[in-house]
A and B are shown apart, each in its own frame.
Chain A
Amino acid sequence: MNKSLASHGQIIWALFVTRTKEFYRDRGALLWSMLLPICIVAAIAIAFSGKGQELFRVGVYQSGSAVISEKLLEQPFVETVNYDNFEKALVRVRHHQLDLLLATDQPGKYWINETSVKGIAAEKLLLAHLDPISKGGADTEWSRQLVSGQQIRYVDWVIPGVLGMNVMFGALFGIGFVIVRYRKNGVLKRLQVTPVTPLEFLTAQVLSRLLVMMITAAVVYIGCDLFLNFVMLGNYLLLALVAVLGIFAMITLALIIASRTASEELANGLLNFAAFPMLLLSEVWFSLDNAPAWLQAVSQCFPLTHMVQAARDIMMSGAGFVEVSHHLLVMTLMSGVFLAVAAYLFRWNER
């Protein structure tokens, strides 16, 4: 007796409504999932509202084997950041994240943002250090290149990260714990003897969690915007698409973790094992521009990295669909692989 499409839909809908109701009725969890990220963002806003970093950050675009031996870069109050992508480095200057930029293939040129006080200061330092060199060297004169752009505060930069982090915890733990608890207290066993298939069950859980996380993320976004008025230059629909794909990827990752165990302790350990590398390496709190290449490569394996990078590009540079499409593609591929593995591993009961 094969089920019709309508009856698949009916079963998924019934399970979806049930799960969503259960979550909605858990008022504590509901409130907490929205309050926590707003608190974190508020704390960051307060912590970084004073004077900025005392260090100057100078970017160096490395092209080929050419090197820049510039005295400015040797100063203890200057932090050097190397880039292999000139456009990327320029965006940093635009956002006041870099005070000054040099390029090995364009000697004599430097880029600053005129609206950045630190940029002007760094320029003065550069020109001050120029004299002793140029007197004896063959260097050309420095020519100033202007970059314009709105200042990006750390809090603007960190907002996509904090939103992403909140969504990651909500997706991983929200779905992981529920399925493990269902398995532990026999709900899954009860469903196993009904005509419900694992795919129907998992689809309903994923959709319910996706809805809940999208609403949570929207509330947190609006909540943060109310008192921070952060930068958002891009398209809201595209941002929502990034959120949907990112959440979906992380939910499916949690499905793998929750596919067999009935132990909440084990699930907790495994979920943390998935969450913490992402928390540290997915550019939630700090950029990996300065990190070794292998670490950056590792970070590309995490769905959160792609979600945060895409969201940041959209919010801070107004990136369009094409510019973030590789992130969208990676997140979609990850979801597909995770879902296939989870469906393969899934067992109703522990044995």
Chain B
Amino acid sequence: MNPILEVRHLKKQFAEITAVDDISFQIQPGTCFGLLGPNGAGKTTTIEMIEGLTEPTGGEILYQGKPRDQRFKMEAGIQFQSTSVMDKLAVIEILKLFYSLYSKRTDLDALIQTCGLESLLPQRATKLSGGQKQRLMFALALINDPQIVFLDEPTTGLDPQSRRNLWDMIERIKAQGKTVLLTTHYMDEAEILCDTLVIVDQGKIIAQGTPKELLKQHFDHFYVSLDRADFESHLPHWPEAVNESHDVIEIQSQSVEVTLQQLQQHQVNLRSLRVRNPTLEDLFLKLTGHSLRE
């Protein structure tokens, strides 16, 4: 299938800083594509260059195989990381305003329902909570029934319930066949929502693929963790690789069964035992030597 969006050798230079350094990727229609990286990695600069807000220093951006034109504006739905709407307008008035700016648009009542805005319609937008405001912004991004939806850190700053709520909404628009481009610094969010992702750090792509592929490619082990106090005495002669932190020891286990057997043989106290799969966070740490949220 032809990609709905293609970025080739994208570059952005701000004075002394190279914010985006030769980034290329393709997005297939109907998929959710994630740009994962720490704050300052160049995610927002990249997405804003695609949206047409920032002029690239170099590179090419193709929408459905062609340079972006007025049709791109009509068919793209955009949500910013932080932006506000007109003061002194009610939610319904803001929805109707943006509704009237497009010639092709979605069913407003259905959209209001999808985004859970029914009870908020008469409220002033300035009075909304963080999660409510994000839902309104999400609705505005969908108001033109877009082919491709850009979400820049959609859940940053939201409480856990609002995050889940927004994930549900993103799943729903994916189910409608829309393409989603999402930036995030939450690895759980990327793992749950994204079909394909690129991991960016310091303006460069450092890994690319589906979350499963990426993890399979870079990890052949699980993590078995124990409290340091319970395991300390066995550390010097343990046969498997071990990650140490202040109070937790993580064993890089090729096989959980084998590791468990060994732990039992050594009569280690297992009350703090936990087993987990490697995550994108681990991948990021492995690739860059620093953690996502540093």
Contacts and interface: CB of A to CB of B under 8 A. Distances in A.
A235 interface: no
A18 B73 contact: no
Contact of A7 (B69, B80, B97, B103): B103
B2 interface: no
A185 B84 contact: yes
Interface string B264-291: 0000000000000000000000000000
Interface residues of A, number: 28
Contacts of A14: 96-97, 100-101
A194 B102 contact: yes
Interface stretch (B51-59, B165-173, B255-263): B51-59
Contact of B98 (A21, A194, A351): A194
Given A194-B101, A194-B102, A21 B89 contact: yes
A192 B97 contact: no
Chain B CB within 10 Å — which of A186, A192, A194, A195 has the most? Answer: A194
Interface of B is mostly: loop
Interface of A: 1-3, 7, 10-11, 13-15, 18, 21-22, 25-26, 182, 185-187, 189-190, 192-196, 348-349, 351
B146 to A, nearest CB: 11
A175 B70 CA distance: 28
B83 A186 contact: yes
Interface of B: 51-54, 69-71, 73-74, 76, 78, 80, 82-89, 93, 96-98, 100-103, 140
Contact of A195 (B80, B93, B101): B101
B73 A195 contact: yes
A13 B51 CA distance: 26
B53 A349 contact: yes
5 contacts: A10-B100, A185-B83, A187-B86, A193-B78, A195-B103
A183 B90 CA distance: 20
A189 B97 contact: no
Given A10-B100, A189-B80, A193-B53, 10 more contacts: A1-B69, A11-B101, A14-B97, A14-B101, A185-B83, A187-B83, A187-B84, A194-B101, A195-B103, A349-B53
A195 B86 CA distance: 18
A15 B93 CA distance: 11
A13 B80 CA distance: 25
Contacts of A2: 70
Contacts of B85: 187, 190
B93 to A, nearest CB: 7
A337 to B, nearest CB: 28
Given A7-B103, A195-B74, A186 B84 contact: yes
A21 B73 contact: no
B15 to A, nearest CB: 12
